[in-house]
Amino acid sequence: MTLKLIKNAEVYAPEYLGKKDLLVGGEQILAIENNMHIDVIDVEEIDAAGKYVLPGLIDQHVHIIGGGGKFAYASMTPEVDAEELIRCGTTTVVGLLGTDSVMRTLQSLYAKVKALQTEGLSAYMLTGSFDYPPVSITNSALEDMIFVNEIIGCKTAISDERAAYVTENELLKMLRAVHVAGVTTGKGGILHIHLGAMESRMDMILDLVKNKHIPAHHLSPTHVGRTRPLFEQAIEFAKLGGMIDLSTGGTKFDEPYRQVLYALEQGVSIDQITFSSDGNASMAKDNADGSFHLYKAPVDKNLKNVIKLITDGGLSITDAFKVMTINPAKNLSLKQKGRIGVGFDADFCLFNSDFILTDVLAKGDIRMKDGTFIKKSIDEKILPIVVFDVPVYF
């Protein structure tokens, strides 16, 4: 096992630990100490003098196999590339379906999750989609979560004209399935709820928490910054103990970092807010002549908005990075993610003093160095197939 020793780093875990050395072995953090010296031959030293070291970022809502287009087949978006994620500091990603569960399938989503894992990222997925009953790989969302390691929750949609118009009782059935699967497997489990722009907004979710006494942390609403009235309800939900997820690359009434600052002014704790990109979703923007042009939602807006929280919003480095590290890790019950600590996964982002991302380590491997992406080598195992007693290699 090759050891890596990161020297002279200003470490934010995300709380500030001071100038430390980090020892990495395999995929995990083995030690965090002052001025370490390792007397072994096989150790790679990385000098992080003058750099901030923070946990790798978690993006809990990405259309990793692309999204179904809003404007017919030609508007479908492509798959995400591992380099796109690494270049914006994302070392952990959660893939999911959108409106399209016919041409975009959970089976294809699973294959892409496995591919990203092979390329060195931590990748997970949600079962379900906009449909009801939820689409699944096995017989149900419950069985998906129990039998497929990579499936850590279920997605559904409300208050959207493209959704299945689920009733409160149907939402409770999905919540029950996710909860039972979560406690059975130890995954935690999350019901991730897409919110559209209809006037029903979060009414159903707030009713479940306030009147049906469903714990708010069992529900994970996203796109809460789509409209201002929706965001006002999200603030109420956060004060009830829920986690609210702001989309940085999708539809929004204001820049996400400004939405965070407003929520903080209204008494919401920074510990109840997350960012996700909605990356690769199919988007349309109106032109001045009345036409529109199509584009895919970017995956790099999470990091840009986190930095804006620091430079423009005056938040501490610790608080700003919570929305992309420990908060989504808590929301998703990813116990090895979101922190720099002994025993945690060795996912790191290294920034210079101007908050330019220079280096990224994912599960202990250097994936970007001095701004240059490093493609992970994939070992090809060539096995012989015997044809008429003669081994033929493919």
For the annotated catalytic residues, the residue numbers are 278
CA atoms within 13 A on the CB side of 130: 17
Q: Could you tell me how many residues make up the chain?
A: 394
65: nearest Cα among 106, 102, 119, 122: 106
Q: What number of other Cβ atoms are within 10 A of residue 139's Cβ?
A: 9
Burial class (CB in 10 A: 0-12, 13-18, 19+), 249: buried
Instruction: Output the DSSP codes for 27-70.
Output: TEEEEEESS-----SSEEEEE-TT-EEEEPEEEEEE-TT----S
Can you say whether the dihedral through the CA atoms of 370, 21, 39, 375 is positive or negative? negative
Q: Tokens in use for 161?
A: 């004209």
CA angle at residue 16 from 13 to 17, to 5 degrees?
80
For 385, which DSSP code?
E
The letter for the amino acid at 49 is A
